[in-house]
């Protein structure tokens, strides 16, 4: 069980129990002793005995009277002094307890304040704010600790800046390489088609009609590929805030899969009574990207399974192919942008899936076995 009381509270409680308890016990002993003296004093009586003694002269009487007066006065003074001491002891004890407890709490708070500051600063660092610095004040040990902390946060800040620069540079490099590669791929067939047309125009212009439809088709196809490439990049860049709505995922899945069913074997096992809250456009993008991946990985004749079922308060969507599978080392990078093992593709599809799932508060997982297939699972909170 987690301890609900902090160290500071425990120290204060210990102080109160030990020191104040000790003082109270001491006071009780002291009070008891004084009570004994007080009782003994009350029992001391001289006047009546002295009055009963026969005095032979007026001088004797005066002496006896003086003696009685002195004795009674001394008794009264001691009595009052005792009472005064008992009152004062309790007052002083109360003041000492109040004062010492106050001072102790102030000291403990002052001691624990730098620790609280450190905790707060550490939390900030944990959240990625490396610019946090602590004032180097207080006790020498605390100053040293804060100084070390400030040094650490400055170093972390410098490392973070360097990392950000390096990361940006790497992203730009990767992006440039991918873009160059993806643009170059369609350009080569276009260039070849144009060259063939030029060549035919120079050598045999009448026969140009023989190759014109094929060349135009190649050029159109490759331009379409370039358009799709641009669309992929555009889609990844502009994932908007999700516009969530409640809908039945089974209906949407059937709608989306309908266009694929004519060319590919897709088996559906869908729970019909589920409802989810998700951006419908995002759902379409998630499903089509995963499905396209499964289609690319599958050999013909091997069906793709789409399963939808409810698990506690969640809807679980599984898309499983029986393709070549993904190697274990690649599984970790599969949702990274521009990572692709396919000959065609930008490597943005699954990255987009991950980004859309995150934006809609869902989880996407993948498991794969070489030569057996891959299974993507999307866990969406149900309604």
Partner 1 sequence: MFEAFGSRVLAGVVSLSMLLFSSFKGNDPKMTNLGYRNSDSFLYVSGIMENAFDNDFPTIFASGTPISVIYDLEIRQGNRIVAKNSFRHTVNYNPATGIYELRKDGRGDLFRSDSVQDIMRHLSSFDFGIPHQPSWAQVQIRIEARLPVVHFDTMNKEVDLMVLWKYEKPSARIHADLRTPE
Binding residues for partner 1, per CB under 8 A? Answer: 24, 27-28, 31-32, 35, 41-42, 47-48, 51, 61, 64-65, 68-70, 72-77, 79-81, 83-84, 86-87, 89-91, 93-95
Could you tell me what percentage of the chain is helix, strand and coil, using 3-state DSSP and rounding each to the nearest 5? 65, 10, 20
E strand or H helix at 370: none
If phi > 0 it is left, if psi is from -120 to 50 it is alpha, else beta; for residue 247 that is beta
Shortest distance in whole angstroms from residue 107 CB to partner 1? 24
Measured CA to CA in angstroms, residue 280 lies from 15, 199, 245 at distances of 63, 51, 7
d(CA 74, CA 377): 99
Decide if 269 contacts 307 (C-beta within 8 A). yes
CB of 95 to partner 1, least distance (A): 8
Residue with Cβ nearer partner 1 (84 or 369)? 84
- Tallying the residues shown for the chain, one arrives at 383
Shortest Å distance, C-beta 10 to partner 1: 24
Distance between CA 94 and CA 91 in Å, rounded?
A: 5
- Closest approach, Cβ 13 to partner 1, in A, equals 19
Map residue 39 onto helix, strand or coil: helix
Q: Return the H-helix or E-strand segment holding 101.
A: helix 58-126
Burial class (CB in 10 A: 0-12, 13-18, 19+), 245: exposed
Find the shortest distance in angstroms from Cβ 32 to partner 1.
7
Kindly state the smallest distance separating residue 54's Cβ from partner 1, in Å. Answer: 14
Tokens encoding 291: 């499905």
Q: How far is the CB of 74 from partner 1 (least distance, A)?
A: 6
Closer to partner 1 by Cβ: residue 36 or 220: 36
- How many helices (H) and strands (E) the chain has is answered by 10, 7
């Amino acid at each position: 069980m987690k301890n609900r009381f902090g160290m500071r509270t425990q120290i204060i409680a210990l102080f109160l129990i030990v020191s104040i308890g000790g003082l109270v016990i001491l006071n009780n002993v002291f009070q008891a002793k004084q009570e004994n003296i007080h009782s003994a004093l009350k029992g001391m009586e001289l006047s009546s005995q002295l009055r009963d003694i026969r005095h032979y002269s007026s001088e004797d009487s005066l002496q006896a009277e003086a003696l009685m007066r002195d004795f009674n006065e001394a008794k009264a003074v001691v009595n009052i002094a005792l009472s005064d001491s008992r009152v004062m002891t309790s007052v002083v004890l109360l003041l000492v307890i109040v004062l010492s407890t106050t001072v102790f709490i102030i000291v403990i708070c002052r001691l624990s304040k730098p620790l609280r500051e450190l905790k707060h600063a550490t939390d900030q660092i944990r959240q990625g704010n490396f610019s946090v610095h602590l004032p180097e004040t207080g006790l020498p040990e605390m100053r040293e600790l804060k100084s070390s902390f400030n040094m650490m946060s400055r170093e972390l800040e410098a490392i973070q800046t360097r990392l950000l620069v390096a990361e940006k540079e790497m992203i730009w490099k990767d992006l440039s390489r991918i873009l160059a590669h993806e643009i170059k791929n369609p350009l080569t067939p276009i260039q070849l088609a144009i060259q063939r047309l030029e060549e035919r125009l120079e050598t045999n212009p009448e026969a140009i009609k023989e190759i014109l439809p094929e060349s135009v088709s190649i050029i159109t196809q490759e331009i379409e590929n370039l358009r799709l490439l641009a669309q992929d990049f555009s889609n990844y860049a502009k994932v908007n805030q999700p516009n969530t709505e409640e809908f039945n995922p089974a209906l949407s899945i059937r709608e989306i899969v309908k266009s694929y069913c004519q060319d590919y074997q897709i088996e559906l096992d869908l729970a019909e009574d589920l409802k989810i809250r998700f951006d419908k456009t995002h759902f379409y993008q998630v499903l089509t990207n995963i499905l396209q991946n499964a289609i690319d990985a599958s050999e013909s004749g091997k069906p793709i399974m789409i399963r939808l079922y409810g698990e506690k308060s969640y809807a679980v969507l599984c898309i499983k192919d029986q393709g070549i599978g993904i190697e274990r080392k690649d599984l970790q990078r599969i949702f990274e942008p521009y990572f692709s093992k396919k000959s065609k593709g930008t490597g943005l599809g699954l990255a987009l899936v991950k980004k859309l799932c995150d934006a809609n508060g869902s989880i996407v997982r993948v498991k794969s076995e070489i030569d057996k297939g891959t299974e993507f699972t999307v866990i969406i909170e149900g309604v």
